Chains A and B, each alone.
Chain A
């Protein structure tokens, strides 16, 4: 969604009263707009009485925050040890090959963004992945493809 100053102001207002509001505010903005453009950094800094440098520092520290839009669906593949023990590396390689993108990349049609992640807490049913909101255990490419298909409108 394109940046909407009024909508953003409403969201900031909802969380501004919290102790230490920066993360809840940024999270809510990203949920709404899909990413945090420069306008977000300026507007949050202004509203929370922080410098733009401080907000920029927070936004760039955390893996969840995006500075540019991603694909319509995110495919997250766990790269941590328990999943490695069950072929997680090969699954990650296959996902990159099939989608034709590297980690953090978005497919040319703008459908899928491939993200590495470290642990979904599904270490007993590895390898694990998340497609949109769907968790996938004992994942292989056919299972991921099916989950991606289910995410299409």
Chain B
């Protein structure tokens, strides 16, 4: 047995919010008291959030996990023999063998929760850096071909093929080009970007540098939301370490912090914000690939898209493309959220059904009551009833049922939910976050709230329901971006699938 025992205590936001710092402090104090030499590593999260804080100990026979651990559990755990991986009521065993993790196919999250997020040695010992080395060997053209061949599509929600976007920027004229990482993960029910940035930030940085090499950009920006203080701190640290290890020789990366605006997750609003302006949406065309940041050709990709690229180059685009279904290739990190028993991060190939992920993987509701509605794809995603639980999780299958996969957030509601209130909230949110540039969104969202209020008050319900549908069509067809354009998804899916909630007796 090594003289110093390594203990992992996650510093992921979810773990911190459940007392991980207090657990780490208690472990250090109790180990000192017992005269045991320990090294506490603050790793990312494995994604089993109902078990956080999940403490792991490096033993002679591998890592052994315990969870959920509170500071008060620590003396008892040490007395029971935590440092040797001994039995205890909270003992999980080898975390990789836990059914929730064993069922997953991890690409984007291959290292998250395993390594020390800001240790370059840990990163390279677990395959980090090899994707970039491969890209340098391949050269720009072959790298573009590899990304295209992998079938990777933009994970921010739009699902646009990454390889085509990169090629467009590569082919665009001009010497100055940019890579922009959209880390403005504002959708409720999503936290995969946050987990990557907190648990494996070098993967994102490496992906951005690969993108820069492939498209000919020498400068990259990460635009992260201010609501993610922990991710910001980890990225700032990771940037210093990566720079010291020469990662930015070809493409320098800078971190920029948002100021609390949901619409800045829309790529053109994000670019405006980066330029120091109000986060107002630009009309497209021109596309950012032609006319992006400061008017230069720009790749704007989500965190997950960029962070998956090194792994694709390392393991081969064919292996990634072999996963999935239809035109949805590879894996998606699904985020199980809201009223769910086993909430967390579940990366799997496209193609599982909604019912499998909610009932089998997620274990149903946290409250133990029947699951009534599931919102997939954030605040602008549709609410699906149990009747649609056979829908496969892939971009086209969801679109065919008037829903969207979006960024992979799955928010579960039990039978206490009032769907008319949820529909009203969708309009309220749109009104609060509208950038104000286009009339359907700016005015339509406010009118939408008013119409739903009338319906809730029982006034001319039929007439107001058809007015609401008409208004939603205007929003859908007339808005400049997805905020106004997609808010009809939650509203109309609530009306269609839960009509009884709009007719209070």
Residues of A within 8 Å of B259, CB to CB, are 23, 26-27, 62-65
Bound form: Cα–Cα A138–B411 in Å: 15
Residues of A within 8 Å of B81, CB to CB, are none
Interface residues of B in 4-57 (CB under 8 A from A): 13-14, 16-18, 49-50, 52
A sample of 8 inter-chain contacts (CB < 8 A) reads A20-B274, A58-B276, A64-B260, A83-B338, A84-B422, A120-B228, A121-B228, A135-B16
With beta carbons under 8 angstroms apart, the residue of B16, B276, B422 that contacts A81 is B422
B202-232 interface mask toward A, CB cutoff 8 Å, 1 = contact, 0 = none?
0000000000000000000000001111100
Residues of A within 8 Å of B257, CB to CB, are 23-24, 27
**A101 touches B (CB below 8 Å):** no
Query: A65, A119, A137 — which one has the most chain B CB atoms within 10 A of its CB?
Result: A119
Q: Are A136 and B338 in contact, with the CB atoms below 8 A?
A: no
Number of A interface residues in the complex (CB < 8 A): 42
**A117 touches B (CB below 8 Å):** yes
| Given the contacts A121-B13, A137-B17, A138-B18, A85 and B339 also touching, CB distance less than 8 Å | yes
Q: Are A119 and B336 in contact, with the CB atoms below 8 A?
A: no
| Given the contacts A63-B261, A118-B186, A85 and B338 also touching, CB distance less than 8 Å | yes
Bound form: Cα–Cα A65–B13 in Å: 24
| Given the contacts A123-B411, A124-B49, A125-B49, A82 and B189 also touching, CB distance less than 8 Å | yes
Name A83's closest neighbour in chain B (CB-CB).
B188
Residues of A within 8 Å of B14, CB to CB, are 122, 124-125, 137
Name B367's closest neighbour in chain A (CB-CB).
A86
Interface residues of B (CB under 8 A from A): 13-14, 16-18, 49-50, 52, 185-191, 193-194, 226-230, 254, 256-262, 273-280, 294, 335-340, 343-345, 366, 375, 379, 409, 411-414, 417, 422, 425, 429, 432-433, 435
With beta carbons under 8 angstroms apart, the residue of B227, B280, B412, B435 that contacts A117 is B227
**Nearest CB of B to A27, in Å:** 6
Name A120's closest neighbour in chain B (CB-CB).
B227
Residues of A within 8 Å of B409, CB to CB, are 82, 123
Residues of B within 8 Å of A121, CB to CB, are 13, 185, 190-191, 193-194, 227-228
